[in-house]
């Protein structure tokens, strides 16, 4: 993703740096949902040491995060295209980070529901 920063500096055009999160979130979302379509649960590979979930739980978590990343991509596009650079920077720093934190926190009941009970 250093390409976007380089293009921004070389061409002196901030559009590239504003597009970077959109591209990144789209790649994340498409990778998760694409993997789900091909029966690959990429999120499981990353978080298998942290969570012990049922197969349905891993699928649900993959679906939720994949869609969430695509929504973030759309939101980033909307904000950078319709607001000032200062507003976009604030949105990127405070809005996106807050949304990711709150979304992750909101997954707690789902994780608890699909947690594999070691006693059973």
**How many Cα atoms occupy the beta-carbon half-sphere of 54 within 13 Å?**
12
Question: Per-residue confidence at 14, pLDDT binned at 50, 70, 90?
Answer: confident
Ordered by start, the domain boundaries in the chain are 2-113
Question: Per-residue confidence at 61, pLDDT binned at 50, 70, 90?
Answer: very high
Q: Locate tokens 């994949």: which residue?
A: 66
The pTM of this model reads 0.87
**What is the b/e burial string over 56-93, where b = at least 16 CB atoms within 10 angstroms of the residue's CB?**
ebbbbbbebbbebbbebbebbbebbeeeeeeebbebbe
**pLDDT one-digit tens code per residue, 68-88:** 999 999 999 999 999 999 999
Q: Is the pLDDT of residue 13 over 90?
A: no
Q: What mean pLDDT is reported for the chain? A: 90
**Smallest Cα–Cα separation from 17: which of 87, 88, 95?**
88
């Amino acid at each position: 993703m250093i390409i976007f920063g380089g293009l921004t500096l070389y061409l002196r055009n901030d559009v590239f740096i504003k597009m970077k999160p959109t591209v990144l979130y789209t790649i994340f979302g498409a990778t998760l949902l694409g993997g789900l379509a091909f029966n690959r649960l990429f999120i499981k590979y990353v978080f298998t040491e942290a969570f012990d979930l049922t197969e349905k739980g891993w699928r649900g978590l993959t679906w939720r995060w994949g869609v969430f990343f695509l929504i973030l991509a759309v939101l980033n596009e909307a904000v950078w295209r319709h607001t000032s650079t200062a507003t976009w920077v604030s949105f990127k720093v405070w809005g996106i980070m807050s949304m990711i934190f709150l979304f992750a926190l909101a997954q707690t009941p789902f994780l608890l529901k699909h947690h594999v009970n070691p006693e059973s």
